[in-house]
C-alpha cells in the first residue's frame, strides 16, 4: 500500500501554533536584521529607529494589503547612494537630525509615487502593466538584485577589512553555509523543515564561540550588550522639506517597481506551487501588483515619518519563505511586532548584533544566491524564449549594466553625463525603456513584412 506523502508548509492565510509562530518569526528577524542595520550604518540613520521602522512599515503593509501578500519590509539598498548624497554619511557615523530629516522628506515623496503607480495599475489592470514589465525584464532584475549583493556576502564571510581576510571568519562562514544547505536537504517535513536558516545561523554562532574559546579570537564581543542600558526609546526625527532630497530620492521609486514586480512573481510562483501540492485553492498574488505597490509606498511613508530609511520587500525573507515553505502572513506580522519591541530593548538588539560578520556572510551567500536563482525561475516559469534576439538583448543589457555598475563604480552608482545613477535602478529603467522601443520596432517590422506578403 502506497503511503501518502505529507506536504509540510504554511500558505498565506494559515497560522502555525503560537509557539512555532514565535520561532518562525525569530528566523525572519535574524534574516532581515543584518541588511536592515547595514543600511542604517551606511546612510547615517539611527539603528534602533531603522529597526523600529522596519517592523512598523511591515505591519502597515500587512494591514493595507489585508494580509493577502506575505512580504517583509526592510531597508532598501537601491536608495543608499541617493540618501548618502543628502546625509553625507560615512560608515557607522550618525548624520545630524537636520540632514536625516531632509532625506525623510525625499523618501516620503518617493512613497507617494509608489502609491500613485499602484492606483494606476489597479485602474488599468495587471495585464497592461505586464506589457511594460514582462518576465524578460523582471527576471533579470531579480537576478541582479541577488548578484549585486554577492560582494557584500563574500566580504562579510571573509571579515575583509579592505586589505586582508581573516581565517576565523571564513571558518564560521563555511560552517554556517554548509549547515544551512545540509539542514535544507535532510529536513524534508515537520517543524525542522521550517527552520534551516535559523539552525544554520545558530550553528555558526556556537562555532564562533568555540573558536573564541580555543584560539582566543574575538569573533563574538559581549562587551556592548548592556552598554546602552535596558530600555531605550528609538531616536525619532521629523521630515524637513528639501527639493534637493526630492530630486535625488523620489525618482528611484520608479526603478524599484520592477523589483517589487519581480518579488511578487517569485512569491506567486512558490506559494501556488505549495498550494498545488497541498491540494489547496490558488492564490492570485501576481494579480495584486497594484495593491503591493500601494503597500510599498505606505511602508516608505510611515518608515520615513518616524526617521527610517526607504525600504522594499526583502528578497532575503522571500528566500527564507521559499526554502522553508512557510508563507504565513501571521508569522510575518509576529516578526514585525517583535522587531518593533526589539528596537526598545537595547540588550536584545545588542545581543543580536554580536552575531559575527562571518556567520551573516555565510548565510547571505546562500540567501542572495537564492534571490538570483529565483530570477532564473521567473524566466523558466514564464517560458521566455532565450533564443529570441530581442529577449537576449534585454537580458544582457540589464545584467551587465546592473552588475557591472554595482561593482565597477563607488557606491554602486554609475557616473554619467554629470549624474550619479544607482546601478540597479538604472538597469531596471533601461530594461523597461529598451523593451518598449524594441517591442515597437518589432511590431513595425512585422507589420511591414505582412503588407509585402
Dist. CA 92–CA 71, nearest whole Å: 28
Please, are residues 315 and 141 in contact by the beta-carbon 8 Å criterion? no
Dist. CA 255–CA 110, nearest whole Å: 11
Dist. CA 85–CA 249, nearest whole Å: 9
pLDDT of residue 453: 65
Helix (H, G, I), strand (E, B) or coil at 419: strand
Rounded to 10°, the helix 289-306/97-124 angle is 170
pLDDT of residue 320: 84
Dist. CA 279–CA 167, nearest whole Å: 48
Q: Is 19 exposed, middle or buried (0-12, 13-18, 19+ CB in 10 A)?
A: exposed
| Grid cell at residue 308 | 527610517
Dist. CA 21–CA 313, nearest whole Å: 20
Dist. CA 203–CA 362, nearest whole Å: 11
The count of other CB atoms within 10 Å of the CB of residue 213 is 10
pLDDT of residue 354: 84
Dist. CA 158–CA 167, nearest whole Å: 7
pLDDT of residue 388: 92
| First CA to last CA distance, the chain | 62
Q: For the whole model, what pTM was predicted?
A: 0.75
Q: Is 76 exposed, middle or buried (0-12, 13-18, 19+ CB in 10 A)?
A: buried
The count of other CB atoms within 10 Å of the CB of residue 386 is 11
Dist. CA 320–CA 27, nearest whole Å: 8
4 secondary structure, DSSP code: P
pLDDT of residue 377: 83
pLDDT of residue 191: 58
76 secondary structure, DSSP code: -
**Residue bearing cell 498550494:** 275
Q: Could you tell me which residues come within 8 angstroms of residue 198 by beta carbon, excluding any fewer than 6 positions away?
A: 23, 26, 27, 30
Residue ranges of the chain with per-residue pLDDT less than 50? 1-3
Amino acid at each position: 500500500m502506497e503511503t501518502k506523502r505529507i506536504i509540510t508548509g504554511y500558505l498565506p492565510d494559515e497560522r502555525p501554533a503560537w509557539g512555532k509562530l514565535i520561532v518562525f518569526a525569530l528566523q525572519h528577524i535574524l534574516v532581515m536584521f543584518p541588511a536592515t542595520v547595514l543600511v542604517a550604518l551606511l546612510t547615517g540613520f539611527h539603528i534602533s529607529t531603522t529597526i523600529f521602522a522596519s517592523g512598523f512599515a511591515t505591519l502597515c503593509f500587512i494591514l493595507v494589503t489585508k494580509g493577502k501578500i506575505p512580504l517583509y519590509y526592510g531597508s532598501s539598498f537601491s536608495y543608499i547612494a541617493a540618501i548618502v548624497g543628502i546625509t553625507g554619511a560615512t560608515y557607522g557615523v550618525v548624520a545630524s537630525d537636520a540632514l536625516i530629516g531632509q532625506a525623510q522628506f525625499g523618501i516620503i515623496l518617493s512613497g507617494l509615487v509608489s502609491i500613485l503607480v499602484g492606483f494606476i495599475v489597479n485602474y488599468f489592470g495587471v495585464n497592461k502593466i505586464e506589457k511594460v514589465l514582462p518576465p524578460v525584464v523582471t527576471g533579470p532584475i531579480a537576478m541582479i538584485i541577488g548578484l549585486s549583493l554577492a560582494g557584500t556576502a563574500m566580504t562579510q564571510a571573509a571579515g575583509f577589512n579592505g586589505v586582508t581576510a581573516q581565517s576565523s571568519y571564513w571558518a564560521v562562514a563555511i560552517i554556517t553555509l554548509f549547515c544551512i544547505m545540509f539542514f535544507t536537504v535532510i529536513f524534508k517535513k515537520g517543524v525542522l523543515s521550517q527552520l534551516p536558516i535559523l539552525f544554520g545561523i545558530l550553528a555558526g554562532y556556537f562555532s564562533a564561540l568555540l573558536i573564541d574559546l580555543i584560539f582566543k579570537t574575538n569573533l563574538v564581543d559581549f562587551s556592548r550588550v548592556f552598554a546602552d542600558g535596558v530600555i531605550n526609546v528609538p531616536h525619532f526625527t521629523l521630515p524637513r522639506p528639501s527639493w534637493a532630497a526630492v530630486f535625488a530620492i523620489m525618482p528611484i521609486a520608479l526603478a524599484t517597481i520592477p523589483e517589487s514586480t519581480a518579488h511578487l512573481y517569485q512569491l506567486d510562483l512558490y506559494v501556488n506551487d505549495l498550494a498545488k501540492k497541498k491540494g489547496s485553492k490558488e492564490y492570485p498574488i501576481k494579480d495584486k501588483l497594484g495593491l503591493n505597490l500601494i503597500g510599498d509606498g505606505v511602508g516608505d511613508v510611515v518608515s520615513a515619518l518616524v526617521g527610517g530609511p526607504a525600504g522594499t520587500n526583502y528578497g532575503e525573507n522571500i528566500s527564507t519563505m521559499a526554502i522553508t515553505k512557510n508563507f504565513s502572513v501571521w508569522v510575518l506580522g509576529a516578526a514585525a511586532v517583535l522587531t518593533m519591541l526589539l528596537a526598545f530593548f537595547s540588550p536584545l538588539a545588542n545581543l543580536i548584533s554580536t552575531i559575527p560578520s562571518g556567520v551573516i556572510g555565510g548565510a547571505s551567500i546562500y540567501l542572495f544566491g537564492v534571490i538570483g536563482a529565483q530570477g532564473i525561475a521567473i524566466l523558466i516559469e514564464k517560458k521566455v524564449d532565450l533564443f529570441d534576439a530581442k529577449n537576449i538583448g534585454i537580458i544582457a543589457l540589464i545584467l551587465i549594466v546592473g552588475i557591472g555598475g554595482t561593482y565597477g563604480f563607488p557606491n554602486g552608482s554609475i557616473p554619467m553625463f554629470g549624474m550619479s545613477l544607482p546601478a540597479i535602478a538604472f538597469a531596471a529603467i533601461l530594461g523597461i525603456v529598451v523593451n518598449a522601443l524594441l517591442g515597437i520596432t518589432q511590431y513595425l517590422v512585422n507589420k511591414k513584412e505582412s503588407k509585402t506578403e
